[in-house]
Amino acid sequence: MRSVSVDLNNDASLLIDIPDALCERDKVKFTVHTKTTLSSFQKPEFSVPRQHEDFIWLHDTLVETEDYAGLIIPPAPPKPDFESPREKMHKLGEGEATMTKEEYTKMKQELEAEYLAVFKKTVQVHEIFLQRLSSHPILSKDRNFQIFLEYDQDLSVRRKNAKEMFGGFFKNMVKSADEVLISGVKEVDDFFEQEKTFLLDYYSKIKDSTAKAEKMTRSHKNIADDYIHISATLNSISADDSTKVEGRVASDQELKLTELLRYYMRDIQAAKDLLYRRARALADYENSNKALDKARLKSKDIPQAEEHQQQCLQKFDKLSESGKKELTGFKGRRVVAFRKNLIEMAELEIKHAKNNVTLLQGCIDLLKSN
Amino acid sequence: MEPTSLEQLEEEEAKDSFDVDVAVTNPEKIGDGMNAYVAYKVSTRTSLPMFRSKTFSVRRRFSDFLGLYEKLSVKQSLHGCVIPPPPEKSVVGMTKVKVGMDDPSSVEFVERRRAALERYLQRVVSHPSLLQDPDVREFLERDDLPRAVNTQALSGAGFLKMINKASDAVNKMTIKMNESDTWFEDKFQEVENEEQQLRKLHAVVDSLVNHRKELCGNTAVFAKSMAMLGNSEDNTALSRALSQLAEVEDKMEQLHQEQAASDFFIFAELLADYIRLLGAVRGCFDQRMRAWQRWQEAQSTLQKKREAEAKLLWANKPDKLQQAKEEIAEVTNTWEARVTQYERDFDRIGMTVRKEVLRFEKEKAKDFKSQIIKYLEAMLQSQQRLIKFWEAFLPEAKAIA
């Protein structure tokens, strides 16, 4: 069951999934599997090994493609982060002498489950990224996307193109300055004015919620660990079972609510990026207008200025048109995803609580009958 | 004197049943500033004829409870008995209360103390020998109890320090006891091990309580954040659902608070009580050792006196002989009587300890069982309420369009 639901157009002409992944120390190797009926691909079905950095390369090249300026580029998957379970595993190893064999085994099991959860999460996030691309009418046709899916050699040669990397870095730097630009530019379109206000506000709120959700689930985890220690020390059946129960709720909540928020936080950032690009285009258009006026005044270089102004206007119009479509679609997708996720989360809470009730009732009955 | 068989002891145990119920309620701050103290209402309900009536109550303060313990623990007749230790003094806790009883940490402190005092008294009155003690009856009945002095010894970890000091003295004994039956040695080891285990468990439960409190805080903060997000959301149905989610999380915070209280008052305090009680049990074993020591020392003194007598008779001073004989006879008679007395004491304490340990184990099993059931039932109710909250939320989530 996928933890983060995104409304995906599962068009059978291009189906992508990550059926397998290997974890070697720090590196995760994903097996990207494609099944397609499109003639643009050489084979109908094939798999390639990819690393996280390859996904980043793909994302960055899409972001820097001028033609896609009017699109919301799906957010790049975050780097696989095994830091937390690894640190805990280390601490566990150090403390092995101080606990009973049973306690140690249980803690180890919990950690292994946590490790697995992080692993599953990262596979899903990388998979969703690709599936977002494959279900987008324009992005799915991108040449680099095709290379990513098909090219059976190591992509690192392409990746290590320093100019590309530097270009991306530079863009990120400028972007933060342009957040000011977005708010500063005089908006000509009501739709975008509203979107801008909404997205800026929503972003800060969702970022806050994500952080708070993370803290909450971490507390749940701590409590689950405590129950493991308790059940190991206590000679009683009852405490034993509640361990698994509390722990399970923590890991499921982790996957559901926090991931949903985290995902949409990044998605909204992507939407904001679209707004920024459009704001840049608007600024460029306004500048081109000023330049044209100046040229007319000086009666110099008028045709170039006119052409430049036309280009800017076209770019801006194109961005606005596609931007409007993208943002509307984005809204719809977001609402659907939240709905699905909130329902699943509520159902899960109920299911686990009912399990707990059965478990606890059983223990109480057992104790009372003795 | 032959020790009675274990079966006989157990039978005696089963016959002891009581009809006394005590409660400690209504904490009330008396006075102001640093001389302020808290007075509790101690109510008794009983069918035993030795009390002045069937129900009655008095007002007592913390030092009165400590004073009662002091009085009981020095009585020879109660040696070998497991005398329940009172709750610990807390300078920090009390200072806060003296300043003002309204803030949540003071409220919690007073409640914790009230509950602990109640458990203490309940243990005292359910002990058959202690219930018969006039000091206990006076504590429960007398309207005007003279203030206890000398309760300084029981501050903080003072009680356990006292027990441990006595243990050390016993360990340093030069004459090692030769146990005729290993019951005492084995039991003592068991008690020590159990105390260790409980300490470990208590530390983890303490950690649980803290983590649960953290969860409360984090949940409350998260709920607020969700409410803000709901306000920002422009889709009406989703906005409503997010606000509802915020409300559910608020209710969850409430549940977590109650669970934390349950963790603490039912579980953690149970463990803390038994850690102290096990210390008291160890104390009984030490008392038995000291009784043995006293007996051995008396025997060796008697031996010395007899040797002195023999020497004197050998020295052969006929004129002084008769007088000397009389003096020696007096001394040896005294010491012979002492030896007999101390041997009887030792046997008696041995029997008391056996009986007490049996009784203690039964009480402990009963206590743990009932508290754990209570704890699980609290958890159960919490989960059932949780189900209701989420079931109410589900239609809201489904209504999103």
Tens place of pLDDT per residue across chain A (370 aa): 344 445 555 567 889 999 988 888 778 899 999 999 988 889 999 999 999 999 999 999 998 888 888 888 898 898 888 887 888 888 888 888 877 777 788 788 878 888 888 888 889 889 989 998 998 889 999 999 999 999 887 777 666 664 455 455 445 545 555 566 566 666 777 888 888 888 888 888 888 988 888 888 888 888 878 877 777 666 443 334 443 444 444 445 545 677 778 888 888 888 888 888 888 888 888 888 888 888 888 888 888 888 988 988 888 888 888 888 888 888 888 888 888 888 888 888 888 888 888 888 888 888 888 6
What confidence score (pLDDT) does residue A11 get? 67
Q: Name the more confident of B23 and B103.
A: B23
Report pLDDT digits (tens) over A292-306. 888 888 888 888 888
Report pLDDT digits (tens) over B32-47. 877 888 899 999 999 8
Distance of CA B161 to the CA centre of its chain: 15
Instruction: Please give the average per-residue pLDDT across B79-104, as a whole number.
Output: 81
Q: Does domain B192-400 have CATH number 1.10.1740.10?
A: no
What confidence score (pLDDT) does residue A237 get? 36
Reduce the DSSP state of residue A20 to 3 states and report it.
strand
* Total Cβ atoms within 10 A of residue A202: 20
CB B348 within 8 A of CB B80: yes
**B320 CB-contact burial (10 Å; exposed 0-12 / middle 13-18 / buried 19+):** exposed
Residue B384, pLDDT > 50, answer yes
Contact B400 A339 (CB under 8 A): yes
| Helix, strand, coil share of chain A (percent; to 5) | 75, 10, 20
Residue B391, pLDDT > 50, answer yes
Neighbouring-strand partners of residue A32: A48
> Which positions 29-48 of A are in contact with B (Cβ < 8 Å)?
none
Instruction: Please give the average per-residue pLDDT across B343-361, as a whole number.
Output: 91
Contact B218 A242 (CB under 8 A): no
Residue B94, pLDDT > 80, answer no
What confidence score (pLDDT) does residue B113 get? 92
CATH number of this structure's domain A199-369 = 1.20.1270.60
> Which positions 310-369 of A are in contact with B (Cβ < 8 Å)?
331, 335, 338-339, 342-343, 345-347, 349-350, 353-354, 356-357, 360-361, 363-364, 367-368
Residue B277, pLDDT > 50, answer yes
Q: Indicate the pLDDT class of residue B344, thresholds 50, 70 and 90.
A: very high
Chain B environment of A218 (Cβ under 8 Å): 218
Residue ranges covered by each domain of chain B: 1-143, 192-400
> Which positions 201-230 of B are in contact with A (Cβ < 8 Å)?
201, 204-205, 207-208, 211-212, 214-215, 218-219, 221-222, 225-226, 228-229
From B22's Cα to the closest Cα of chain A, the distance in A is 25
Q: Read off the DSSP letter of residue B265.
A: I
What confidence score (pLDDT) does residue B58 get? 92
Contact B218 A335 (CB under 8 A): no
What confidence score (pLDDT) does residue B12 get? 52
What confidence score (pLDDT) does residue A365 get? 87
> Which positions 236-275 of A are in contact with B (Cβ < 8 Å)?
236, 238, 242
The letter for the amino acid at A188 is V
Chain B environment of A208 (Cβ under 8 Å): 225, 228-229
A370 touches chain B (CB under 8 A): yes
Phi, psi of A100 (to 5 degrees): -75, 165
Residue ranges covered by each domain of chain A: 1-160, 199-369
Chain A environment of B239 (Cβ under 8 Å): none
Instruction: Please give the average per-residue pLDDT across B297-316, as a whole number.
Output: 82
The structure tokens 């896609």 sit at A68
Query: Whose CA is closest to A216, among B205, B261, B139, B216?
Result: B216
| Percent of chain B's residues with pLDDT above 90 | 35
What confidence score (pLDDT) does residue B305 get? 83
Residue B376, pLDDT > 80, answer yes
Residue B9, pLDDT > 70, answer no
Distance CA A183, CA A39 (A): 45
- H helix count then E strand count, chain A: 10, 3
Whole-complex ipTM: 0.78
From B203's Cα to the closest Cα of chain A, the distance in A is 9
Distance CA A177, CA B380 (A): 54
Distance CA B357, CA B170 (A): 19
What's the token pair of residue B128? 């058959």
Please state which architecture CATH assigns to domain A1-160: 2-Layer Sandwich (3.30)
Q: Which fold has domain B1-143?
A: PX Domain (3.30.1520)
Contact A346 B221 (CB under 8 A): no
Distance CA B163, CA B290 (A): 13
Common-topology check for domains B1-143 and B192-400: no
CB A15 within 8 A of CB A27: no
Q: At what angle do helices A190-233 and A237-253 cross, to 10 degrees?
A: 160
Element (H, E) at A14: strand A14-24
What confidence score (pLDDT) does residue A243 get? 39
Contact B214 A220 (CB under 8 A): no
Q: Indicate the pLDDT class of residue B359, thresholds 50, 70 and 90.
A: very high
Distance CA B364, CA B191 (A): 12
What confidence score (pLDDT) does residue B318 get? 67
Element (H, E) at A49: strand A45-51
Distance CA B373, CA B378 (A): 9
